[in-house]
Amino acid sequence: MKKILETLKLKWPEYLLEIMVITIGILLAFGLNNWNENRKQSKNDIDFLISLKAELSTDTAALSVRKSRLMRINDETSRTLNLFDSADAISDSEYVTISLALGNLSILTPSPKNERFDFRSNGTLNRISKQLNQKFLVFLERLEHDYVIFQKLGEELEKISTQYIHPKVDFDFMEGNLTNRRADFQFDNIKNDRLVKNALHRSFLYRKGEINSIEQQIQQIEEILSIIEEHLSANE
């Protein structure tokens, strides 16, 4: 023991240096590993945001297309109701307008549930940005809320169309399609029919509600995309 203590007294600077070198090496290894893991995580987060941005942009385009379609149908419905109130006879083009309004009366297409967007369980967005995560959660809640409402309203329009429109109008499903279902009718027989008018008014109101919902969804998406763009720009 005495010999060991004497050796330590003589060589303690050397041993201390070795311990320091080993300690520094371990710390550097841990630091390098952490840096590498953080770099990988950062890349994964950027890839995630890029993917989310692409999907949201695609859905914005789809929402805009559906909004335009609903606005066109509502325009046909509005012109049809005006003709019912003011016209004694109609032209061929006006006949087509009424035919399309009657054929598309039950059209109401709520935003479908998108399982791709259900990131609430993995915490990825919350780690990247609490603000982004919060806005995205609010957006998801709106999608679910609106889906339930307009699905029910769409079912109601189907019943109204079957009860009040189909008995008075002939639909040519062989020649038409789900986008523009053509209808044959006698103008004099339906222009003063209160049930037909009420059905058209209700369909207009329901579609107007969905148009407003789509506009709010697009606004929410644009806010989310703006935050995503800020994060991507900061990591360029």
Q: DSSP assignment of 56-90, as one string?
A: HHHHHHHHHHHHHHHHHHHHHHHHHHHHHHH-SS-
Per residue in 159-170, pLDDT (tens digit) is: 999 999 989 998
- Place 176 in a pLDDT band, splitting at 50, 70 and 90: very low
How large a percentage of the chain has pLDDT more than 70? 78
Q: What is the pTM of this model?
A: 0.79
Average pLDDT over residues 145-158: 91
Q: Would you tell me how many other CB atoms lie within 10 Å of the CB of residue 63? A: 17
Q: Is there a contact between 83 and 96 (Cβ–Cβ < 8 Å)?
A: no
**How high is the pLDDT of residue 121?**
43
Mean pLDDT of the chain: 84
Top mean-pLDDT range of 79-93, 107-121, 169-183: 79-93
- Indicate the pLDDT class of residue 173, thresholds 50, 70 and 90: low
- Count: domains in the chain: 1
**What is the spatial distance between Cα 218 and Cα 63, in angstroms, rounded to a whole number?**
7
Contact in structure between 150 and 110 (CB atoms under 8 Å): yes
Q: pLDDT tens digit string along 101-122?
A: 998 998 886 655 555 555 544 5
pLDDT for 204 equals: 97
Residue 198: give the domain boundaries. 2-234
Higher pLDDT, 84 or 178: 84
